[in-house]
Chain A
Amino acid sequence: MIHAALLLASTRPTWPDILVFAASAAVILVGSVGVVTSRNPVHAALSLVMTLFGVAVLFIEQEADFLAAVQIIVYAGAIVVLFLFVIMFLGVDRDEDIVIEPLAGQRPLAVVLSVITLAGVLAMAATAHWVTGAHQVVGPIQGHVAGPGSPSGEPAQLGKQLFTTYLFAFEATAALLVIAVVGAVVLARRPPTVHADPEDSDQSELPA
């Protein structure tokens, strides 16, 4: 019974599905490599948008339509814009020298360790039995089986679960967002009197 769902997922994919996956995988990989290798932070942010868009396409491909919309609106529309705003606000939108390696041997070591981790994850994924407990814990995904006139499909299911099973977590995220907003305001506020710190007297203070 547990393996039935896994077998269901391994039915023959159609050509459009393969093409969509290949195109989005290429977009995601190019974008994520661009984030890491861009000299200019603005280019890195735009590569991040590319990656987020590819992930949103894969969400749609896996019947998570609502999350794809949220991904575009929240990530590409809000978070990356916030990144770009801070980059422009601080005026750090110029090329930096990434050829110099401040810590000798750090980059090869980082790549080697990360590739070892990747190999471990892939080996685990190839050999593991994914489900150890109950098959469905929360509820089924019932996409595209809507009767006319009744709210159904994947967003309705997700909303129902968010306001029943995950209600406490949902309210906790509300509190988290309020705390984050208050924290950001406190962080961004300039203190009324700037104490002359002898340690920082040589640092140039920016005009307000």
Chain B
Amino acid sequence: MSLSGAWYLGLSAIVFTIGAIGLLVRRNVLIMFMCIELMLNAANLTFVTFARMLGDIGGQAVVFFVLVVAAAEVVVGLGIVVTNFRRRATTVADDLDALKG
């Protein structure tokens, strides 16, 4: 029998927090994307943990959909980054200030 679900939930909460800190602190758009992936993974771990705790396969099915949405998000997001890099030659979010009033 595996460890109780509380350990997994605590770990995923910590990983989610680290991802949130990175998203708030870092300026590079690519690394901000990776931090979003960290947060999505923490949520996935929570879903799988609840699926085991409650004995319900539905949690694992949701993780499957999260994976698909993450893949689509990364494809479109990186496309935007590449398009932006062609015009501005930067991946730093602070330099994208064309809409500044």
Interface residue ranges of B56-101 to A (CB < 8 Å): 56-58, 60-61, 63-65, 67-76, 78-83, 85-89, 91-92, 94, 98
Question: Knowing A13-B2, A187-B83, A188-B82 touch, does A38 contact B31 (C-beta < 8 A)?
Answer: yes
Chain B residue contacts of A149, Cβ below 8 A = none
Complex formed: what's the CA distance from A67 to B7 in Å? 20
Interface of B, secondary structure class, is: helix
Please, which residue of chain A has its CB at the minimum distance from the CB of B70?
A79
Within 8 Å by CB of B4, from A13, A64, A140, A177, lies A13
A29 lies within 8 A of chain B by Cβ: yes
Interface size class of B (residues with CB under 8 A): 35 or more
Complex formed: what's the CA distance from A179 to B72 in Å? 9
Within 8 Å by CB of A36, from B33, B35, B58, B87, lies B35
Interface residue ranges of A13-40 to B (CB < 8 Å): 13-14, 17-18, 21, 25, 28-29, 32-33, 35-36, 38
Chain A residue contacts of B74, Cβ below 8 A = 79, 82-83
CB distance from B48 to the nearest CB of A (A): 5
Interface size class of A (residues with CB under 8 A): 35 or more
Interface centre among A12, A70, A110, A190 (most CB of B within 10 A): A110
Do A136 and B56 touch (CB < 8 A)? yes
Chain B residue contacts of A121, Cβ below 8 A = 13, 16
Bits for B1-35, please: 1 = Cβ < 8 Å to A, else 0.
11111111111011111111110111110110111
What is A's interface to B at a CB cutoff of 8 Å? Answer: 5-6, 8-14, 17-18, 21, 25, 28-29, 32-33, 35-36, 38, 41, 44-45, 48, 51-52, 55, 58-59, 61-64, 66-67, 70-71, 74-75, 78-79, 82-83, 86-87, 89-90, 92, 96, 98, 102, 106-107, 110-111, 113-115, 117-118, 121-122, 125, 130-131, 135-141, 154, 157-158, 161-162, 165-166, 169, 173, 176-177, 179-181, 183-184, 187-188, 190, 199-200, 203-206
